[in-house]
Amino acid sequence: MNFNRLRVVANNVFAETIRDRILYVWGLFAIIIVFMIPVVREVASTVEDKILLDVGLGLMEILGVAVTVFISTGLINKEIDQRTIYLLIAKPLNISELIVGKFLGVSAVLSVLVVGMMGIYLGILTLNQTSYASLTALIISALFLILKLSLITAAAILFGVFTRSLVALFLTFGIYFMGNLSADMVKLNALVETPLFSRLSQVLFIIVPDLSRLDVKNLAVYGMNSLPGAVTLTTNAGYGIVYTIALLALATIILAQREF
């Protein structure tokens, strides 16, 4: 795998996505947060700070996932539909470099997007004199959000190599929702003594990524002491990275078998 070729593909994806004005999401994020402040102050003044923290971090994830899915699911199909994939793989560019390069380009966009939203978020909190327990905890939450979005990007690319863009979109949203619920399904399995549900929950837990391991936003609002220990955080981050690599490898294998 050649680094220079990866960089070219990633830069092209990054530039094209920025050109599509995807960073206008920053503006939408800021507007929603600003409009939420008086609403929260009116209906829940006693817990205003906590709610604003929850709303901000939750909104960052919602917008990030939406951008991720709509960008990533059509990355490969667009090359196939426009016949440009023939030119790409005819050059000294192999399929793995195409997949990984596009993944890195989208991940770079998402990193910029999350960092920008976090900067806007902290700025608004400061202007509103909203207190938060730990800046470090909020930064860790943002880093884990980037990991989660990168994993979803890899899943979207995987679905995009063997289905149409619309189908890949729904499948990726499905992975996101099931991934956030997979750990809860295992807990529910202990309460519901049904063989069918037990087998189904076990299969889903094995196949679907456990995205709850990459979700620390609800704990981050309470500060560093509420976050898992360094070993657990590192293990969870490693889980996300390994799962992402596995999805990209599978996408490469499937695309290599396709006839264009």
Average pLDDT over the chain, rounded to an integer = 85
Cβ–Cβ < 8 Å for 185, 205: yes
Nearest to 69 by CA among 157, 145, 144, 9: 157
- Given pLDDT bands bounded at 50, 70 and 90, which one contains residue 196? low
Integer Cα distance of 253 and 160 in angstroms? 13
Per-residue pLDDT tens for 86-128?
A: 666 656 778 888 899 999 999 999 999 999 999 999 999 888 8
Show the DSSP H helices in 22-94 as ranges. Answer: 25-43, 48-72, 75-81, 84-90
Per-residue pLDDT, 201: 65
Radius of gyration of the chain (CA): 20
Q: At what angle do helices 165-191 and 48-72 cross, to 10 degrees?
A: 130
Q: What pLDDT is recorded for position 220?
A: 86
Which residue is associated with the tokens 């800046």?
A: 135
141-184 per-position pLDDT tens digit: 999 999 999 999 999 999 988 888 889 999 999 999 988 887 66
Task: Determine the Cα–Cα distance for residues 8 and 15; give it in Å rounded to an integer.
Answer: 11
Q: What pLDDT score was predicted for residue 232?
A: 93
* Mean local confidence (pLDDT), 41-52: 75
Give residue 87's pLDDT. Answer: 65
User: Which helix (H) or strand (E) element contains residue 173?
Assistant: helix 165-191
Residue 260 has pLDDT above 60, yes or no: no
Q: Does residue 222 surpass a pLDDT of 90?
A: no
- pLDDT for 45 beyond 70: no
Q: How many domains does the chain have?
A: 1
d(CA 61, CA 83): 34
Tokens at residue 255, please? Answer: 């695309």
Give pTM, 2 decimals: 0.89
- Which residue type, as a one-letter code, is found at position 103? F
Question: Is the pLDDT score of 70 beyond 60?
Answer: yes
Q: Which of 7-21, 43-57, 142-156 has the highest mean pLDDT?
A: 142-156
In this structure, the number of other CB atoms found within 10 A of the CB of residue 216 comes to 25
What six digits make up the tokens of 248? 């990209």
Provide the residue type at 76 as one letter. Answer: I
Residue 189 scores a pLDDT above 70: no
Tell me what percent of the residues of the chain surpass a pLDDT of 90. 40
Contact (CB, 8 A) for 149 and 63: no
Q: Is the pLDDT of residue 51 over 80?
A: yes
pLDDT at 38 over 80: yes
Indicate if the pLDDT at residue 1 is higher than 90: no
Residue 225, amino acid: N
CA–CA separation, 60 and 102 (whole Å): 23
Tokens of 39: 């609403």
- Tell me the residue range of the domain where 103 lies: 3-257
Please report which confidence band the pLDDT of residue 227 belongs to, taking 50, 70 and 90 as the band edges. Answer: confident
